[in-house]
Amino acid sequence: MKGCGWTDYSAPLDCSWTWKKIVQVKDIFKTGYHNNSWIKNASGYSIADGYNWLRTSHPKVPWHFICWNPLNIPRTSFIYWASLHKKLLTRDRPVQMGICSDTTCCLCATVPETHEHIFQDCDFTRNCMTLLQQKIQVSFPIHDVIRWFSTGRCKSSLQKLFAGACYVGTIYAIWMARNHARIHQAVIHPKVPVHQVRKEVLERWKRRNRKPLRPLDTQWFFKMTM
Ligand SMILES: [Zn+2]
């Protein structure tokens, strides 16, 4: 870079691929400078500033908390995200594509299988959610769950985190139960996924948490883990 300023520097043709990439990134970031000063912050450039400037800002989606809750098991977050965007291969989709003609729900075998049905209205799902709420001692409305978790009041933040992770885990478990039913023509009892989800979330919380329970949560936690 001898003999020229960092903003004017270009990578030589015979340099390595890595150096060319570094110089490309430099060229992107130089537009964030004015008179050799970082435009976003008078006290100078920081990695956090640069990251936020590069990615630009977007409004927070209402399902942010529930989908990216730190207590969520990662694989459950992915299936929940896919269900939100209607990306799972429910039976209505192959029918629309002309691949098959059977749309019946694999879990209740009564109505066509859509995302809305399988994750909200199916009897299997309703039974799972009722059992879950009884087990974890937190109630939330299944048809308005995103608004409840993003704005609704809960007794404590831990109970809300725990309930959110269990809800997302149950959505995952419902999808797995649906796949099991499709392949084996047998529907598992709702108690099985609910028990498994609560156990997994509890284990994750124990691994991550180092602080003692607040008095507000002690009684709830004792009842919930019985
Ligand atoms: Zn159903």
**Distance from residue 169's CA to the centre of ligand 1 (Å):** 18
| Mean pLDDT score, 71-86 | 95
Is pLDDT at 96 greater than 80 in this prediction?
A: no
Q: Give the Å distance between the CA of 22 and the centre of ligand 1.
A: 53
Distance (Å) from CA 186 to ligand 1 centroid: 13
pLDDT band at 58 (very low <50, low <70, confident <90, very high): confident
Cα 201 to averaged position of ligand 1 atoms, centre (Å): 26
pLDDT tens for each residue of 174-187: 999 999 999 999 99
Confidence check: pLDDT of 82 > 90: yes
The helix/strand/coil state of 210 is: coil
Q: Identify the pLDDT of residue 23.
A: 93
Interval between CA 124 and ligand 1 midpoint (Å) = 7
Of 222, 69, 219, the C-alpha closest to 155 is: 219
Ligand 1 centroid to residue 88 C-alpha, Å? 15
Joined tokens for residue 9: 């520097």
Residue 180 Cα, ligand 1 centroid: separation in angstroms? 14
Q: Is the pLDDT of residue 42 over 80?
A: no
* Separation of alpha carbons 123 and 106, rounded Å: 12
